[in-house]
Amino acid sequence: MAGIPGLLFLLLLLLLCAVVQVHPYGVHWKPAWPAYRLPVVLPQSTHSLSKPDFVAKAKLEVSSSCGPQCHKGTPLPTYEEVKQYLSYETLYANGSRTETQVGIYILSNGGGGAQRQDSESSGRPRRKRQIYGYDSRFSIFGKDFLLNYPFSTSVKLSTGCTGTLVAEKHVLTAAHCIHDGKTYVKGTQKLRVGFLKPKFKDGGRGANHSTSAIPEKMKFQWIRVKRTHVPKGWIKGNANDIGMDYDYALLELKKPHKRKFMKIGVSPPAKQLPGGRIHFSGYDNDRPGNLVYRFCDIKDETYDLLYQQCDAQPGASGSGVYVRMWKRQQQKWERKIIGIFSGHQWVDMNGSPQDFNVAVRITPLKYAQICYWIKGNYLDCREG
């Protein structure tokens, strides 16, 4: 394994997402998960920071003056800049925190560098609010749905956002749900994650049946968070300047949740997604206590962001954006998280305000980082 010199990194930046296998469309074609050559993101040094004050107000929306065309015109980051953005801060339950600097590597037996590849625009955003015309969201009722995959992977954060189970003890969410770019959100030190469970009266396990016309009563069971990871790309304010590129965070629970989780994956180009469509479920504020599912087409994309018009309200931020594609090695269909719903974004487009709902894409470098946070071993993070 070798480090990437600065000049070489810029060249590798154009090669990373090269797909190992390319299958032409045919009669029996299935939208399959591409095989990527992935980099390695490893910690190099860690030092302690002072305890934060936890005074920020929870933001359930993020604003930016940089839209799709602005992002596509942004210069490629240098190797040192990317290392700084992927460095991260860790907050522990006792209030202590650390900062970790990272190195980016490729494997000597065949790896790749980073790539910034902008895709063609697939449409224009409409000048509407977070509900685009007819409200196409579906509230999910009944334990037979809520407690089963994939809906059971959606959890609620005590700060008001949504998260997704991505490992036995890990939850993926948006960074702005716990950090406003300057300091941590009030309540983050005692952050909890809520799991929907049936609410039984007098021990009556069969009191409410999912086929009943009356929705089953559900309640949240909460688990404390042990520590959180937030990339410095968010904390440094980069996201506030050009968008929400690094608006993601990983939470580690104090104990396993014992539910089926959804793996993360590298986000393929929109044209490779089944129907060019994404899915996600979250706890929208306008439907308290309800898990809300939606799906929609991708309208535009950059290397780091997906622009879409999925109907959503504050509270859905942090939801895992997923797709279902064919896994060639196992010969089966598999859902993977390919992004994190960041929220509603107003963009100044040539002096005219326009709005999008935006998701942060899991790029090869972000995958390598998040996977290492989860597994702690880069050898377990070679398949995106």
- Catalytic residue numbers read 176, 241, 317
Residue type, 47: H
Segment (H or E) for 252: strand 249-253
Distances 278 to 3, 153, 173 between C-alpha atoms, Å: 35, 16, 17
Name residues whose C-beta falls within 8 Å of residue 73's C-beta, 6 or more positions apart in sequence: none
d(CA 192, CA 251): 10
Is 298:307 a contact under the CB 8 Å cutoff?
yes
**Which amino acid type is present at position 189?**
Q
What residue type is 88 in one-letter code? Y
Q: To the nearest 10°, the Cα dihedral for 57, 58, 63, 68?
A: 150
* DSSP β-bridge partners for residue 227: 92, 252
Burial class (CB in 10 A: 0-12, 13-18, 19+), 176: buried
Q: What is the four-CA torsion angle of 63, 265, 116, 247, rounded to 10 degrees?
A: 20
Q: Quick check: 7 and 113 in contact, CB under 8 A?
A: no
Residue 221: exposure state from Cβ atoms within 10 A (0-12, 13-18, ≥19): exposed
Angle value at C-alpha 360, between 33 and 292, nearest 5 degrees:
85
